[in-house]
Amino acid sequence: MEEKVTYRRTLTLFQVVALGLAWMSPMIYFTVYGIAYEGSSGWMTSSYTVAAAAILLTALSYIVMSKRFSSSASAYTYVKKAIHPYAGFLVGWVVLLEYIFSPVIACLTFGLYMHAQFPAVPASVWIIGINLIFAIVNIIGIKFSAGLSKIFVVVQILFIALFCAFLIKGLAANAAAIAVQPLLPHGEWGISAILTGASIVCFSFLGFDTVTTLADETINAHKTIPRAIMLIVLIAAVMYIVVSVLTKLVFPSLSFTNGDAAGFELMRLVGGAGLQSLFISVLIMAVFTQGVIAVTSASRLLHVMGNDSTLPRRFFGKLHSKYKTPVNSIAAVCVVSMLALVLSLETAIKFVSLGALTAFVFVNGSVVVQMYVKEKRRSFSQTIVYLIIPLTGACFVGWLLTLLDRTALIMGACWLMVGILYHLYRTKPALAAIMQKRQLD
């Protein structure tokens, strides 16, 4: 009889937080700076504050469900157990978009940046090379990935602190220019711009949910995972808001020649060519760590779905006997990541956004169904925690879903249809047996 191989529980709170921040990548603040600045009409501080509050509502729902169901797989498991197995499958299928296409974004971004630095080497070479490294690092084990992520996340945070130090120096040199008024909204135009900006910068917070896929490898997961979720969201919120405040005080208005490279231009304004060069180095490091943890999270989701026989169990449900990692799932994720050779960055981002926002809506709904409806926790405080907060979070995220363009929604509908057809194919023998039994009865 074949011995069952299980994960090693080695991850501490600090390591889980590091992995979550690595997926989120704090440096994303600068990579989307131009899009966010233009979308919010310069109201970055207020937009990030609104976005942080909205994300916190959904994070609270993840905390509730991670305490109630401590096993891995995030939204897939929560919806399956709280609402219905078929609903869980559909959500898990859509969430695959977020998890599987995140490594595609990392590979593509890495290839583009490295090609810009070394034009003689084609981007495709960098994409293939980094994809192989992602596979090797993940096969070796989660502890190695956690150690690597911890170092690189600290480097990102130190860079952001250095950036803030440059801004503070600028403020000290011209203290009379400090004004709080530009940070505050005024009039209908300001509020509209802030809400539009919030819908954009929400994507800077994506990634906190991925740590729930690591529950089976985390020490004391039912306590560690909820704490990690809260810490990740709060750390990100503080960083983004502080940087936005300082930047606004130093530069009340900005304009960029290239919105996609606005972060690069901002570095030159703040710290000159030296800070600009350091920025590129840290940014490449951030992309690398985001790719490593993206492959980790995607492979864990595939493994759980394989264990449940939602996906082929023989392939996705296996762990390597030596490394205790889902090698087959890792390989599958890295094969899909080769799409970075042909896909555009915009298309990959649309897939990730659609998957993440869908997961957020249904996790909020799972809290209401499980805690308020099934378990009837309906005291005054419980009504706020298990009904009002998750419904508010679901409505806000649902509104964000409506802001996605038509192409993204059509792609999502097509992917969902593929999932429905696949589920019918997988369950065809069971359905035939049920129909035969009914005919006999």
> Residue 11 pairs with which residues in a beta bridge?
218
Per-residue pLDDT, averaged over 259-273, amounts to 83
Tell me the per-residue pLDDT of 28-71, one tens digit each, with 9 for 90 and over: 888 778 878 887 888 888 889 988 988 999 999 999 998 888 76
Separation between Cα atoms, residue 68 and residue 102, nearest integer Å: 27
Query: Residue 241: its pLDDT value, please?
Result: 94
Domain coordinates of the chain in residue numbers?
A: 14-432
Count the alpha carbons within 13 Å of 422 in the hemisphere toward its beta carbon: 15
Q: Are 134 and 288 in contact (CB under 8 A)?
A: no
Separation between Cα atoms, residue 382 and residue 135, nearest integer Å: 44
Tell me the per-residue pLDDT of 354-366, one tens digit each, with 9 for 90 and over: 888 888 999 999 9
- Residue 188: band (very low, low, confident or very high) from pLDDT cuts 50, 70, 90: very low
Of 260, 236, 262, nearest to 251 (Cα)?
262
Separation between Cα atoms, residue 128 and residue 433, nearest integer Å: 46
Separation between Cα atoms, residue 103 and residue 276, nearest integer Å: 26
Say if residue 412 is exposed, middle or buried (CB neighbours under 10 Å; 0-12, 13-18, 19+).
Answer: buried
Per-residue pLDDT, averaged over 185-213, amounts to 75
Residue 83 has pLDDT above 80, yes or no: yes
Query: Residue 1: its pLDDT value, please?
Result: 43
Q: pLDDT over 70 for what percent of the chain? A: 90
Of 331, 343, 338, 324, nearest to 298 (Cα)?
331
Query: Residue 191: its pLDDT value, please?
Result: 77
Question: What secondary structure, in 3-state letters, does the chain show?
Answer: CCCCCCCCCCECHHHHHHHHHHHHCCCHHHHCHHHHHHHCCCCHHHHHHHHHHHHHHHHHHHHHHHHHCCCCCCHHHHHHHHCCHHHHHHHHHHHHHHHHHHHHHHHHHHHHHHHHHCCCCCHHHHHHHHHHHHHHHHHHCHHHHHHHHHHHHHHHHHHHHHHHHHHHHHHHHCHHHCCCHHHCCCHHHHHHHHHHHHHHHHHHHCCHHHHHHHHHHECCHHHHHHHHHHHHHHHHHHHHHHHHHHHHHHCCCCCCCCHHHHHHHHHHHHHHHHHHHHHHHHHHHHHHHHHHHHHHHHHHHHHHHHHCCCCCHHHHCCCCCCCCCCHHHHHHHHHHHHHHHCCCHHHHHHHHHHHHHHHHHHHHHHHHHHHHHHCCCCCHHHHHHHHHHHHHHHHHHHHHHHHCCHHHHHHHHHHHHHHHHHHHHHHHHHHHHHHHHHHHC
Tell me the per-residue pLDDT of 386-440, one tens digit each, with 9 for 90 and over: 999 999 999 988 887 887 778 878 888 899 999 999 888 877 765 455 545 555 5
Q: Are 305 and 79 in contact (CB under 8 A)?
A: no
Q: Does domain 14-432 have CATH number 1.20.1740.10?
A: yes
Mean pLDDT is highest, among 160-169, 257-266, 284-293, for 160-169
Query: Residue 301: its pLDDT value, please?
Result: 84
- Decide which of 340 and 186 is more confident: 340
